[in-house]
Amino acid sequence: MNDVTVSKDGQHLEVETTAGRLRFHAIWLRDNASDAGTRSLQNGQRLITLQDIPQDTRIGAVALSDHTLTVGFQPEDKTITYDIDWLVQNAYDRPLPARAGWVAEGIETWDHHLMDAVPSAQYGDVASSPRALRAWLSRFARYGFAKLSGGPVHDQALMGIVDWFGHVRETNYGRHFEVRTEVNPTNLAFTGLGLQAHTDNPYRDPVPTLQLLYCLESSAAGGENMVVDGFAVARRLQEENPDWFDVLSRHCARFEYAGADDVLLQSRRPMIELAPDGELIAVRFNNRSAAAITDVPFDEMALYYQAYRRMGDIIDDPAMEVSFRLNPGDSFLVDNTRVLHARKGYSGSGTRWLQGCYADKDALLSKLAVLRAQHPEAAQ
Ligand code: OGA
Ligand code: ZN
């Protein structure tokens, strides 16, 4: 059934695979050769630049077996063998998604129904088993947040969690910050006020991609946490009115933090961020640190504010939220580029004390990829 044909000019070939007929360009194939002259055997890094490959590279002879495709390149007179499975996995011969706002494979958007299956695990299990860590990180990657219960209750216990997958991202708030009522708070988070669902530090560029909040005390009434899937919010907004989605993704908002004398952080980024091909990649939303919006043309400002208001309505809709109460030793990790977090106000007798810190999602995803390679048989 397998066959391969080369275009007359040798600029591309077409090969029959389990995923259908796929086309590949000569220059793409040559650039992605994995022979010892092209890639280091030690670390897999490419040894040559594109300039080392002749501009007039073309396909000469080809040969197909069950699992490999062998291609001869001219004018180099170089022969390279490709694994067909690798070609299928890396194929690009497909149409672009028709509509902006699509999400990457492996991401599942959610609303309050996820209350029945909140991604969570026991601290002790994850601390002692790479398989449990893999499963917890997997759920985090799919849903953009995950809880942990039953952890130790001591100062900076949250650092133990970050150590499982990466490094703390230090900011002007410190390596970690205390989330409790303070007399002269540098941030409204350090009061008993309720906080509308938000992403943290949108005034930073890049934003911290992970936030961890870890509970040490929670005897005060109130203070429950909520999380909302910003990607689900953006897609609902788009379904309700594509113009709202477009206006928030095509124009930059501005964010600013000047809550302490020695800091003046400012950013200019959209509330809904898309990749050039329309992939939904980030949401920024924070009523406390939104600055004057000055990058929306006059004629679109009224529409922009309609869209911004509606985005807030959707964020505040209980149908979108998953809520829980953190007890001492409980924590949750959020993907701060996607999932918004909130807390109810608290007051009266008793205490509420969380410690928070930031870290990097790329390191977490790297750890997950390594665990997946090491434990391929584990569920998820
Ligand atoms: C924060 C925050 C929520 C809470 O510190 O960024 O949103 O539960 N805190 O106190
Ligand atoms: Zn916050």
Give tens-digit pLDDT for 75-127: 999 999 999 999 999 999 999 898 999 999 999 999 999 999 999 999 999 99
Tokens of 54: 């002749």
Residue whose CA is at the smallest distance from ligand 1 atom 1: 189
What is the overall mean pLDDT for the chain?
A: 96
Q: How confident is the model over 192-218, as a mean pLDDT?
A: 97
β-pairing verdict for 120-122 and 177-179 = unpaired
Residue 352 lies in a domain: yes
Name the residue range of residue 350's domain.
112-374
Residue 255 lies in a domain: yes
Let me know how long the chain is. Answer: 380
DSSP reduced 3-state for 36: coil
How far is the CA of 293 from the CAs of 192, 250, 251, in angstroms? Answer: 28, 13, 10
* pLDDT number for residue 80: 98
Residue 201 lies in a domain: yes
Residues forming beta bridges with residue 60, ordered by sequence position: none
Tokens of 326: 């953190």
203 has pLDDT over 90: yes
Residue 101 lies in a domain: no
Which amino acid would we find at residue 284?
Answer: R
**Confidence (pTM):** 0.95
Atom of ligand 1 nearest to the CA of 225: 8
379 has pLDDT over 70: no
End-of-domain residue from the set 89, 120, 153: 89
β-pairing verdict for 120-122 and 145-149 = parallel
* pLDDT number for residue 348: 84
Q: Is 195 in the pocket of ligand 1 (CB under 6 A)?
A: yes
Q: Please state, in angstroms and rounded to a whole number, the distance separating the CA atoms of residues 364 and 133.
A: 11
Q: Is 179 in the pocket of ligand 1 (CB under 6 A)?
A: yes
Q: How confident is the model over 134-149, as a mean pLDDT?
A: 98
377 has pLDDT over 90: no
Residue 51 lies in a domain: yes
Q: How confident is the model over 344-358, as a mean pLDDT?
A: 94
CB 337 within 8 A of CB 300: no
Burial class (CB in 10 A: 0-12, 13-18, 19+), 10: middle
Residue 220 lies in a domain: yes
In eight-state DSSP terms, residue 338 is T
Residues forming beta bridges with residue 126, ordered by sequence position: none
The answer for 346, left when phi > 0, alpha when psi is -120 to 50, beta otherwise, is beta
Residue whose CA is at the smallest distance from ligand 1 atom 9: 189
Q: Is 176 in the pocket of ligand 1 (CB under 6 A)?
A: no
CB 280 within 8 A of CB 102: yes
CB 11 within 8 A of CB 28: no
Q: Please state, in angstroms and rounded to a whole number, the distance separating the CA atoms of residues 135 and 148.
A: 12
Q: Is 341 in the pocket of ligand 1 (CB under 6 A)?
A: yes
β-pairing verdict for 253-257 and 265-269 = antiparallel
Q: Please state, in angstroms and rounded to a whole number, the distance separating the CA atoms of residues 13 and 311.
A: 47
Mutational pocket test of ligand 1: of 186, 343, 346, 357, the residue with most ligand atoms within 8 Å of the beta carbon: 343
380 has pLDDT over 90: no
Do 27 and 130 belong together in one domain?
no
Residue 219 lies in a domain: yes
Do 159 and 83 belong together in one domain?
no
pLDDT bracket for residue 349 (50, 70, 90): confident
Tokens of 238: 């788009």
pLDDT bracket for residue 2 (50, 70, 90): low
Look-up of token digits 């750890």: 367
Residue 98 lies in a domain: no
- Number of structural domains (the chain) is 2
Do 46 and 135 belong together in one domain?
no
Helix, strand, coil tally for the chain in percent (to 5)? 30, 30, 40
pLDDT bracket for residue 1 (50, 70, 90): very low
* pLDDT number for residue 378: 53
Rounded distance from Cα 1 to ligand 2 centre (Å): 57
Q: Please state, in angstroms and rounded to a whole number, the distance separating the CA atoms of residues 212 and 339.
A: 12
Atom of ligand 1 nearest to the CA of 341: 7
Q: Is 53 in the pocket of ligand 1 (CB under 6 A)?
A: no
% of residues, the chain, pLDDT over 70: 98
Residue whose CA is at the smallest distance from ligand 1 atom 5: 189
pLDDT tens string 25-61? 999 999 999 999 999 999 999 999 999 999 999 999 9
Residue whose CA is at the smallest distance from ligand 1 atom 8: 343
Q: How confident is the model over 146-164, as a mean pLDDT?
A: 98
Do 280 and 343 belong together in one domain?
yes
Q: How confident is the model over 158-183, as a mean pLDDT?
A: 97
